[in-house]
Amino acid sequence: MKKDKIIVSSADSNYFFLLKELFLSLNKSGILSDYQFSILDTGLTEEQKIFFLDNSVIIKDAIWNTPVPKFKILGRDNLKTQVARAYLPDYFENYKLYIWLDADMWLNDIESFYFYENGALNNKLTIVPQSDRAYVKNANVEWLFGFPKKIKTINYKNISKSISKTLGRKYAFHSTLNAGAFAINDNVNIWKCFQKNIKLAAKKGRIFGTDQVALALSIYEDDLPSEFLPAYCNWMCEFKMPKFDDDKSQFVEPYIPNHPIALVHLAGLDDIRQDKNILSDVETLDGLRIKKSLRYNV
């Protein structure tokens, strides 16, 4: 019997091991008894694909779902999913719930993860803003004679370069929406809005960040119904190192109440994404300092 909920990720051959770890973390949790796991392929080798096919994973080739200037692409097939993630129902038809997960994250706590499902099934685009009490720095400012000369935020940079500086200034200090993990049900209107803004954001050919621009416009400009989840549902280790609960053998947020982290996200940590053997300095809930990998422990 076909499952009615789906989790989709993507990778090329360079991200195979991260994608594999994401799959294994989901599989160990038992969630794949209810969810189909699927992949948008942007360059996996045939041998790498065999591992997933042997584990009943559906694989589809990612395409450029919206027109993009060819001279801007330059063979960077891995960027296809910057736009393709807005078209998941076109790749995988007739599911009632779609969850997108970047390959550089893994499931640490299933109970917190279910908040994505709860929000999406309530007919809302469910996502985590990149703002938290632990994320101290949200903007960079250049000063001139004591006055702010230039203010830099992710929204301002991405929206200004993709669409216009006017719109960039409008949403410069709105929280960046982390496109690495989001959930949407089968509501056609939500997907059409997302796709409309993907086309707008990709029009000039600045592909990296297109997904975040489109999500920001869909929610902030078009007022799409949304559910903002807490940071522990998609924890950015680059911004603040989590703590580790030895008793439960899982990562938790660094401040009280030390809520379990749903998804450990390694975006920005290129060395760790490339080398599983790198150990980080992590504090336990008992106050001990330990060396521990942030990668999924198979």
The answer to whether the CB of 185 falls within 8 A of the CB of 120 is yes
Distance CA 262, CA 148 (A): 37
What residues does 243 pair with on adjacent strands?
252
Give the pLDDT confidence of 78-129 residue by residue, as tens digits: 789 999 999 999 999 999 999 999 999 999 999 999 999 999 999 999 999 9
pLDDT tens digits, 169-227: 888 888 899 999 999 999 999 999 999 999 998 887 678 888 999 999 999 999 999 99
Confidence check: pLDDT of 272 > 80: yes
182/98 Cα distance (integer angstroms): 8
What does the pLDDT look like over 123-177, one tens digit per residue? Answer: 999 999 999 999 987 767 677 666 666 667 888 888 888 888 888 888 888 889 9
CA distances from 66 to 23, 84, 215, 228, 275 (A): 28, 8, 16, 27, 34
Sheet of 35-41: strands edge to edge? 58-61, 35-41, 5-11, 97-101, 177-185, 125-129, 226-228
User: What are the residues facing 61 on neighbouring strands?
Assistant: 41
Q: Please report the pLDDT score of residue 72 as a whole number.
A: 67
Give the residue-averaged pLDDT of 248-254: 97
5-132+176-231 fold: Spore Coat Polysaccharide Biosynthesis Protein SpsA; Chain A (3.90.550)
Q: Rounded to the nearest 10 degrees, what angle do helices 188-202 and 154-162 cross at?
A: 70
- For the residues 34-51, what does the mean pLDDT come to? 97
Domain ranges of the chain: 5-132+176-231, 140-170, 233-292
Distance CA 282, CA 205 (A): 40
Each residue's pLDDT tens digit, 56-78: 999 999 998 887 777 666 667 77
